Chains A and B, each alone.
Chain A
């Protein structure tokens, strides 16, 4: 298939960017969206132009590195990561807009690459259980009800891609923060730090410049891993009880 791409090109955080138009041809419907961009980049390199910069790594939907806004939607039309979006979801002759994550807390590094280190700092503020190596009791010393383990797992699946922030009209990181708070707070191992964890993580989230939550729900719709919107309700409950 032949496509027209309008891609956001921006040299660096302090330079203005713009949408640039490219034509790509001979695109197979079996290609992933990133392989389609690879094809464009191979052509750009041969023409001596700078290829389009984008983050990517595992290309199987688990590392969370890739992510772009495709036709206005975080990760595009399917509920998956950009690397697992295939070109069969587009039509010959389509014009596709490709932009970086748009959020105040995610400055553009170059083109489609943004700086998501704010998410790491939220984790560092309390998204852990203090259990230094070697200090652990025998694993079966504390039984964990299966329901709690499953609930923890459901939230622990977050890959930290940032789609929730990009999809939110407020640029909020509530779903991301909720995913970690719920994962750790429902486990008995996480109980001792339950209150400080949620307070510190919410504080870090605000300090990083993420917006507030207005219950729009776009985050959970865009999440490629299906982190449930109810996580945010649980986060609020944890915060109030702390």
Chain B
């Protein structure tokens, strides 16, 4: 960790001077036709005798869709699972907040859907920065997920005939999204949680709730356990296992304001990164265009509203800068319906990244509306006039209600105000086809890994990936690892255990000892704004260099001025926040470096220097058709490139004008 005074104010040159190491490649996906790779891999995978499984302990960190599904499935297979969540109950993991739906190539609509088409849509939607083998497997497994969830009693929406209903989602031409009203994530998560609860009650899963992973134990090059803190008592303890599975979600909260839950954090994956797991594509973050804008400096999080609103709402801002008249008093000819103007063919229905960037541009011009000028109007007046209020209410009633609850404005009378917000991170720990990281025995599943969405995730695909990894992909590959690997017991007095425990404890003591004059949230807000301004919707070299210079200075200030009352041996939420922040500083630096090195635009990563003549994202395939996997060194990181080969989906440039 570099936080000495000498570097305050300018980026430590050593960090920018990253080196390029040996390429990294997936060696687990079998060769041969892409349709047969997963079957082949499962056939080749070594099995563990059912009687021997109970002798193996597997740690699963996180209880969201990926972790909950994995914990339940591994326990059903006979493994002894030790599972962790920082929430008071596994049912509260942030997967619960997903609204829209889950994709599956069932083709129940007879509309030409297929595994091949879901595979194709996902690779293309990811702007050709995902690994074909993984994405194809995801499309294959999607079909089994729906069967599994229905058997568990997930109350999906149904037709009058009793069969499952589906709907369409952005960027695709088929109806393949299964849903449970606006609470699909909740219902899928409760399905996994109930399966997990059954295994907890049966004694097959040992659950540690309100317990947070703070470090990884690596012995003889293999992941053998974690160090975790009991958040109620403050006790720090080592838990040993034969393999460790991280299902700890994404790192969107590095921005402070995001649609993530307040306590979602990057500490588990970042600590694993520091212990040797490569971190891939950290700059690939997704920004959702239709969120409720912040109402002031007190704002603690942002709330997403379904993108479906753009089907009938018209987006506009005043033509004049600094026009503070209420929207109703701005005449038609003084409004700029900028998406309809710039993208006449797609209008208000351009993809997420394009709609988000356009909103930022008009707000940066000083034409934004609402507090701080950080918002644009989403106006339903025309839709209400055309369809009638009842029809609009039938379609969007619950969303209008949610908006009114938060803003106290009636969207039937005044236009909604919306603004983009961070809500998903495509980057994460680098994994191979087996979902194993570069540390043998350490697996990463769900949003915590980087594997399936490339540079941009399509709607309703996050739930699909979380459950695919947890229920169907990880169990056989973990079997293979445990079946092939000699795993001598780790003695309780192994020096590595005391060492890592001491490091974790020392860090907390250091934070508590500063006794400065700034709160954890004040630092987090400042870091978040810095990232949002320089590594957010649009990035350029000057801004990224500015951020890379500022982050070390901010981190240095943190270690001088942080204030956390109380002790480490008690329930201490301020200490939890400050401890997560230490990792956010380092992660933020790597995100900016990754964004700086990737001189192309692709998916959620828009470099203003790499645009088409009409201002759209321009990929540079000849230079950047790779996943960037970063190795931690404590100093300048090492970049390992995984070349991406497209045998089935030919890369093309997108156009929406």
Contacts and interface: CB of A to CB of B under 8 A. Distances in A.
A64 B73 CA distance: 25
A120 B327 CA distance: 49
Contacts of A59: 261-262, 300-301, 303
Contacts of A48: 515, 563, 565
B266 interface: no
A136 B148 contact: yes
Nearest to B158: A149
Contacts of A35: 298-300
Given A28-B296, A57-B87, A131-B195, 6 more contacts: A57-B92, A57-B263, A124-B198, A129-B153, A136-B150, A153-B181
A30 B405 CA distance: 10
A238 interface: no
B96 A62 contact: yes
A240 interface: no
B150 A146 contact: no
A171 B193 CA distance: 25
B408 A86 contact: yes
Contacts of A30: 295-296, 298, 407-408
A116 B183 contact: no
Nearest to A115: B88
Interface string A78-118: 00100010101000000000000000000001100101110
B187 A156 contact: yes
Interface in B120-159: 144, 146-148, 150-153, 155-159
B194 interface: yes
A62 B194 contact: no
Contact of B565 (A49, A63, A65, A143): A49
Interface in B390-409: 405-408
A177 interface: no
Contacts of A53: 571, 573
B76 A132 contact: yes
Interface string A142-169: 1111100110110011011000000000
A56 B262 CA distance: 8
Contacts of A60: 97, 301, 303-304
A30 B209 CA distance: 33
B511 to A, nearest CB: 13
Contacts of B296: 28, 30-31
B517 interface: yes
15 contacts: A30-B408, A35-B299, A39-B298, A49-B565, A51-B574, A58-B92, A63-B87, A63-B92, A63-B96, A116-B88, A128-B152, A130-B198, A136-B151, A140-B164, A160-B89
A143 B153 contact: no
Nearest to B95: A63
A123 B197 contact: yes
B527 interface: no
Contact of B92 (A65, A124, A143, A153): A65
A50 B160 CA distance: 56
B475 interface: yes
B163 A137 contact: no
A-B pairs, top 7 by smallest CB distance, nearest first, are A143-B162, A124-B201, A128-B194, A136-B151, A30-B295, A131-B151, A153-B155
B162 A144 contact: yes
B72 interface: yes
A82 to B, nearest CB: 13
Contacts of A121: 201
A129 B163 contact: no
Contacts of B97: 58, 60, 62-63
Nearest to B70: A133
Contact of A152 (B155, B162, B564): B155
Contacts of A123: 91, 193-194, 197
Contacts of B301: 59-60
B298 A65 contact: no
A152 B295 CA distance: 37
Nearest to A49: B565
B89 A116 contact: yes
Nearest to B146: A139
B94 interface: yes
B144 A136 contact: yes
A45 B152 contact: no
B155 A183 contact: yes
Interface of B: 69, 72-73, 76, 87-92, 94, 96-97, 106, 108, 144, 146-148, 150-153, 155-164, 180-181, 183, 186-187, 190, 193-195, 197-198, 200-201, 209, 232, 261-264, 295-296, 298-301, 303-304, 405-408, 471-472, 475, 515, 517, 519-522, 563-566, 570-574
A142 B163 CA distance: 8
A184 interface: yes
A137 B148 CA distance: 8
B521 A38 contact: yes
A122 B304 CA distance: 32
A124 B202 CA distance: 8
B198 A128 contact: yes
Q: Which of A34, A56, A120 has the most CB of B within 10 A?
A: A120
A130 B201 CA distance: 13
Contacts of B91: 64, 120, 123, 160
Contact of A32 (B144, B163, B300, B574): B300
A33 B117 CA distance: 46
Contacts of B159: 146
Contact of A138 (B147, B261, B565): B147
Contacts of A137: 147, 151
A189 interface: yes
A231 interface: no
Interface in A196-224: none
B300 A34 contact: yes
A12 B299 CA distance: 30
A139 B163 CA distance: 9
A28 B522 CA distance: 18
Nearest to B405: A84
Contacts of A134: 144, 148, 471-472
Interface in A33-73: 34-35, 38-39, 41-42, 44-46, 48-51, 53, 55-60, 62-65
Interface in A7-45: 12, 28-32, 34-35, 38-39, 41-42, 44-45
A145 B159 CA distance: 8
Between B106, B164, B197, the greatest number of chain A beta carbons within 10 A of the residue's beta carbon is seen for B197
A108 to B, nearest CB: 11
A55 B89 CA distance: 11
Contact of A133 (B73, B150, B187, B563): B73
A191 to B, nearest CB: 10
Nearest to A133: B73
Contacts of B108: 140
A63 B158 contact: no
Nearest to B515: A48
